[in-house]
């Protein structure tokens, strides 16, 4: 109302000659405005019947002219073409960014319900749809991290610590863990565990499924040298996020202990935490892939025993209390971006060390490799002659781009190890390999951390031809002109 009055008064002041002619009209207009003072100023805008009604206008909309957008009932200049469109409601937004936020910006999504099944999660930082990365991002509480898709609840078997065997294994009626696993079939190949502690020992044979266990702990009632999880012939199992605590026995036994049994089981472990009195992993035979997991064998070495003809790869793992042994011809172990520390094996007579390729009833030892890894306070114990991993038959390991330290004797003991582009401290005996830094302090940060200081000789010192993309804690490699030696990449 005030803007209109000002406009009319200004018009009369500007043209005095017209003042008299239009005097009566002006007075009538003033009278009309005074009577209708609850009506909106003619220059305001609104974008919906409800929006207009809030101003006292009866129109369905009061649009702005081209080049302007309606924000808070005022026509404002449109933002630059490369900026997010401004809006007050979804209808103001283009199809590429169809939703209006509370800050008047058009975006792809404001809630996950606005996203498609192929990109089911609305990212809170970017307001754009993306793949799922965790179970908690899906309404089914189950994310397939390989595809980034949420798994339909109708294809998931749900279990809880107190679930009954007779329950339906649905999201609203979870069953016991043993009943859920027994119910796995081609249409239900995902088992989701609710948070809590589960006490049964598990024996799985001939099943193909994924076990989602983030927040869950398997702590079975064990007596003697029993095993928490036994993976039998014909099984193809992936376990995500589960913690296993074996009070008296072993963690996971994969394989029927018959090298001729088929089909050989396969096992994938992601983000696991396994703490055991005996073996953490026993593969005989088994095809094993392990990522981002922490293993602690409290009294027995090795933590992982990979027997012929098994194969195992470990990436971004932590081995505490026990190492990894590749035993016998046909066995192969590859370790990368991993940390070995607090090795209980160093305190045991006949210890194979933190990583070993050993003879196991065959003429040729198993192969054992480690790259971009860090060995703290323990020695590699090698045989004599060329190790199996380097094309020979003897006991030993092949190490590159790694840090090896010892608190008792040389970091590498015996000629049957091949070491290159690595740091060994202390080291009096000659190393079988090249481009090593001997008796050089790797300069760890300290305080329980084995990350590198900026002044560490390991920084930018790895083999320039080596390819490795990410370190133990997820830092991208390289941060400088070359990768760093060891499990940790220094990040400025």
Per-residue pLDDT of the chain (492 residues; tens, 9 = 90+): 444 434 333 443 444 444 444 444 443 433 333 334 455 677 788 888 877 888 787 888 888 877 677 777 888 765 554 455 678 899 889 888 999 999 899 999 999 999 999 999 999 999 999 999 999 999 999 999 889 999 999 999 999 999 999 999 999 999 999 999 999 999 999 999 999 999 999 999 999 999 999 999 999 987 767 899 999 999 999 999 999 999 888 999 999 888 888 899 999 999 999 999 888 999 999 999 999 999 998 876 688 999 999 999 999 999 998 899 999 999 999 999 999 998 865 544 456 789 999 888 788 899 999 999 999 998 998 888 889 999 999 889 999 999 999 988 999 998 889 999 999 999 999 999 999 999 999 999 999 999 999 999 999 999 999 999 999 999 999 999 999 999 999 999
Residue 78 DSSP class: P
Domain range holding 488? 323-333+357-376+387-492
Helix axes 23-35, 2-14, angle to 10 degrees: 170
Determine the Cα angle at 174 with ends 173 and 175, to 5°. 120
Domain assignment of residue 142, yes or no: no
Domain assignment of residue 98, yes or no: no
User: How many structural domains does the chain have?
Assistant: 1
Domain assignment of residue 434, yes or no: yes
Measure CA of the first residue to CA of the last residue in the chain; give whole Å: 61
Q: How far apart are CA 152 and CA 188, in angstroms?
A: 10
Domain assignment of residue 382, yes or no: no
Q: How far apart are CA 33 and CA 27, in angstroms?
A: 10
Judging by DSSP bridges, how do beta strands 418-420 and 398-400 pair with one another? parallel
Q: Could you tell me the two tokens for 246?
A: 């074996």
Q: Could you tell me the two tokens for 125?
A: 């930082």
Domain assignment of residue 371, yes or no: yes
Domain assignment of residue 405, yes or no: yes
Q: How far apart are CA 397 and CA 350, in angstroms?
A: 17
CB 423 within 8 A of CB 459: no
Domain assignment of residue 154, yes or no: no
Domain assignment of residue 362, yes or no: yes
> Is the torsion defined by CA of 17, 19, 23, 29 positive or negative?
positive
CA quadruple 411, 413, 418, 421: dihedral, nearest 10? 20
Q: How far apart are CA 355 and CA 403, in angstroms?
A: 13
């Amino acid at each position: 109302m005030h803007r209109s009055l000002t406009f009319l008064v200004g018009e009369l002041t500007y043209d005095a000659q017209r003042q008299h002619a239009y005097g009566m009209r002006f007075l009538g207009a003033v009278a009309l405005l005074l009577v209708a003072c609850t009506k909106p100023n003619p220059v305001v805008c609104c974008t919906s019947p409800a929006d207009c009604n809030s101003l006292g206008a009866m129109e369905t909309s009061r649009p702005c002219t081209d080049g302007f957008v309606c924000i808070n009932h005022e026509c404002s200049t449109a933002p630059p073409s490369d900026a997010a469109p401004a809006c007050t409601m979804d209808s103001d937004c283009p199809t590429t960014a169809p939703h209006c936020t509370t800050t008047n910006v058009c975006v792809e999504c404001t809630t996950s319900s606005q996203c498609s099944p192929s990109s089911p999660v609305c990212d809170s930082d970017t307001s754009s749809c993306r793949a799922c990365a965790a179970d908690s991002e899906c309404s089914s509480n189950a994310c397939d991290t390989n595809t980034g898709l949420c798994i339909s609840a109708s294809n998931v078997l749900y279990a809880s610590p107190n679930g009954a065997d007779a329950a339906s294994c649905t999201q609203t009626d979870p069953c016991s863990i043993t009943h859920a696993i027994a119910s796995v079939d081609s249409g239900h190949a995902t088992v989701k565990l609710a948070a809590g502690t589960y006490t049964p020992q598990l024996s799985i044979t001939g099943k193909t499924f994924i076990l989602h266990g983030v927040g869950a702990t398997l702590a079975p009632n064990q007596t003697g040298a029993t095993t928490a999880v036994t993976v039998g012939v014909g099984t193809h199992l992936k376990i995500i996020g589960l913690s296993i605590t074996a009070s008296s026995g072993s963690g996971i036994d994969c394989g029927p202990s018959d090298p001729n049994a088929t089909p050989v089981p396969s096992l994938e472990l992601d983000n696991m935490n396994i703490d055991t009195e005996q073996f953490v992993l026993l593969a005989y035979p088994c095809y094993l892939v392990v990522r981002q997991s922490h293993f602690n064998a409290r009294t027995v070495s090795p933590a992982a025993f990979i027997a012929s003809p098994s194969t195992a790869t470990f990436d971004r793992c932590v081995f505490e209390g026990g190492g990894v042994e590749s035993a016998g011809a046909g066995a192969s172990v590859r370790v990368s971006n991993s940390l070995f520390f607090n090795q209980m094996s160093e305190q045991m007579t006949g210890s194979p060390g933190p990583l070993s390729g050993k003879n196991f009833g065959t003429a040729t030892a198993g192969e054992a490799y480690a790259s971009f890894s860090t060995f703290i306070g323990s020695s590699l114990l090698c045989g004599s002659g060329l190790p199996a991993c380097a094309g020979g038959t003897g006991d030993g390991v092949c190490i590159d781009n790694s840090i090896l330290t010892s608190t008792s004797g040389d970091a590498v003991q015996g000629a049957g190890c091949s070491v290159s582009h690595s740091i060994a401290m202390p080291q009096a005996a000659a190393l079988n390999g090249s481009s090593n830094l001997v008796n050089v302090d790797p300069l760890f940060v300290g305080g329980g951390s084995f990350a590198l200081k900026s002044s560490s000789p390991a920084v930018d010192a790895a083999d320039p031809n080596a390819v490795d993309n990410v370190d133990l804690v997820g830092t991208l490699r390289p941060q400088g002109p070359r990768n760093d030696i060891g499990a940790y990449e220094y990040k400025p």
